[in-house]
Amino acid sequence: MKLPKGFKASAVASGIKPQGLDLALIFSESPCKVAGVFTSNRVKAAPVIYSKSIVKKGIAQAIIANSGCANACTGKEGIKDAEEMANAVERALNLKPRSVLVASTGVIGKKLPLEKIKAALPSLIRGLSHENFQDVALAIMTTDTRPKIKSVEVKCGRLKGTILGIAKGAGMISPNLATMLCFLITDLVCEPQILQSCLKEAVSLSFNRISVDGEQSTNDTVLLMANGLEGPLGEKEIPIFKEALTSLTMDLAKEIVKDAEGATKFVKISIKGAKSDPEAKKAAFRIANSLLVKTALFGEDPNWGRIMAALGDSGTKFNPDKVCIWMNGLKVASEGKGLNIDHNELSKVLKNKEILIEIDLKEGKGKFEVFTCDLSYDYVRINAEYTT
C-alpha cells in the first residue's frame, strides 16, 4: 500500500480499554491545510466541538485519537479535556498552539482518562514512523472486527500524489454521518475552502449513503489533512482529486457496512423512477432502516411485501400500482402485484452474501442508492453487552 509523503503514525495501549491499542497519533512533518465533516446530531461530543474550531482555522499538523471513551455528554470539563489532550501533543512535538485535531470513540458519558493519555504520550511519540498506519486503524476500533485502511494514487497531470484513508465503524451507523471516525491524509494540497468542498461532496456520496441500524452518534468525524509535499493542485486537477477522494471514501464506507455488528449480508438498495432524487433517497433509507426488511434478509425469508410496506411508509410520492421490485435480478413484483415465483427459487437468491434490491417507481428520473446490511441475533447481543 502506497503512503503519502511526509506523514508518520503511531499507536499504543494506554489503558483506556482493558486491553489492546487505544491511542493513536498521525503527524505531518509540515503544517497541513485541513477540512472536516462532523455529526449533525444535536448532541455533539467534546472532541467534535473542539476539532470543528480547529478546522475553521484551516491549518493543523496532527491528529490524536482514542477509543474506549467517547468524551461525550461530559460538559465543559469534557471540552477542557479535549483541548488539553491536543495541547499535550503540541507541547511534546513543539507545535504551534491549536494545530492538533482530536477525535474519540467509545462509551458515552464517561470522563476522558486524561492522565493515562498523558502518561502514554512519550511512547506514542517515540513510535512515530512512516510504517505504523495499520496500528492507527487497529487503535481506533471499538466493535469493529477488522481494521479499515486503504490508499489510492492520484495522477493529476504533472503530479502523482496519494490519499490514505483510515476508518472505524460497525454500529450506530446512519447519516449524517454515522458512528465512525475517518482520517484522510494526502501529499497533494489546495486551499482549505476547496478542500472542504471536495470532502463534503465525497462524504455525501459515500458515508452519507450507508446505514447499519438507523442510529446516529455524537462523535462522527471525518478529517482530511493535506501537506502538499507532492505539490499544489491546479484548477483543472481538482476534479481528478475529488473523484479519487470519493472513490476512496466509498470503499471505506462499504467496508464499514460489510463489518457491521452481527451482519451476515451486504445489501444495496437501488431506487429509480422517483419524481426526484430526494424522493428516491427517502424511499431508499426507509427500506434500509426497516427492521422487518432487515430481519427478513437475515432469515433469508423472501417476504418482498415488507419492502413494499416500508416503501409506502417512506413519505415518497408514488402510485403503488406501478411499482416493480427485483431481488438479485429476480423480478418479484410487477405493477404493484406479486409474481408467481417458486418460493424455494427466491429463498435460494437470498442465500447470497450480497443482496441487490432494485425498485422502479415509474414516476420520473429520480434515483438514489443506499448500502446497508441485515439485522441478526448477534447485533442484539453485541449492543446489549456493550458497556458490560
Longest dimension (CA), the chain: 71
Query: Strands, DSSP E only, in 157-265?
Result: 159-168, 181-189, 221-232
Spatial distance between the Cα atoms of 111 and 79, rounded to a whole number of angstroms: 11
Q: Could you give the angle at the alpha carbon of 144 between the alpha carbons of 181 and 171, nearest 5°?
A: 70
Q: Say whether 74 is catalytic.
A: no
**Catalytic position from the list 105, 179, 186, 372:** 179
Spatial distance between the Cα atoms of 187 and 51, rounded to a whole number of angstroms: 21
- What is the distance in angstroms between the CA of the first residue and the CA of the last residue of the chain? 37
Amino acid present at 178: A
Spatial distance between the Cα atoms of 60 and 99, rounded to a whole number of angstroms: 4
Helix or strand or coil: residue 78? helix
Q: Could you give the angle at the alpha carbon of 59 between the alpha carbons of 103 and 43, nearest 5°?
A: 35
Distance of CA 111 to the CA centre of its chain: 25
The 8-class DSSP code of residue 352 comes to: S
Is residue 141 within 8 A of residue 23, CB to CB? The reply is no
Spatial distance between the Cα atoms of 207 and 222, rounded to a whole number of angstroms: 9
For the annotated catalytic residues, the residue numbers are: 179
